[in-house]
Amino acid sequence: MNRGTEFHDLYAQLRILKQLEYYRKRREEYKQANHQAIVVRNILLGLAAVAGFVGQLTPEAARPGLAVGGAVLAALAAAVTAYSALIGFPQLEKLYGDAVRNLEEAEIDWDVADPTADLTNEVERVEGIFRSEIGQWGQLVVKEAEAAKEAQAQQHAQAQQDAQAQQDPPAGAPPPGPPPAP
């Protein structure tokens, strides 16, 4: 085996295939994390809705507890959403997925390339994929900062709505204060 063939095989094994394995694992990891965040958020919101519904059917003494429980569950759902937006699970899944697709194409071309020929262009293509993936991290950081601000604003708006709902009496309820004198 000559040096060109050895380089061809080693580069394929140690650079292309190892990175492909890494990118595939990260893509799957972030796909699962995104799914888990969605499930947890939906469960928390469902429980908050159940607390609100049950609160309407229970005696007066239990309503404040259910209202607080529902508000806490909704706040936890907002926190999960904010965390998911901050980390950017879908964006990271896409980032690694794009790298996998590009590297798989480059791997096909690498496999058919003549190991005895000049491989400079093929090496540059593979390394360009890696540089492109690294370059996208800066863009991702800016997008995540904007998403975190938006999620925080939504969470603040939800907290204000919850506080306002706690202060407003239900329709048909007597105004707070002492009963009118006869």
Rounded Cα distance between 74 and 158, Å, is 8
End-to-end CA distance of the chain: 108
Residue 175 domain-assigned (yes or no)? no
b/e string for 112-125 if b means 16 or more Cβ within 10 A?
A: ebebeeebeebbeb
Residue 126 domain-assigned (yes or no)? yes
Residue 169 domain-assigned (yes or no)? no
Report how many domains make up the chain.
1
Strand runs labelled E in the chain: none
Rounded Cα distance between 65 and 45, Å, is 17
Rounded Cα distance between 53 and 66, Å, is 9
Residue 74 domain-assigned (yes or no)? yes
Residue 160 domain-assigned (yes or no)? yes
Residue 179 domain-assigned (yes or no)? no
pLDDT by residue for the chain (182 residues), tens only, comes to: 788 889 989 999 999 999 999 999 999 999 999 999 999 999 999 999 999 999 889 898 888 999 999 999 999 999 999 999 989 999 999 999 999 999 999 999 999 999 888 999 999 989 988 888 887 776 666 666 676 677 777 887 887 777 676 666 555 555 555 655 66
Residue 170 domain-assigned (yes or no)? no
The whole domain housing 121 covers: 3-164
Query: What's the predicted TM-score (pTM) here?
Result: 0.67
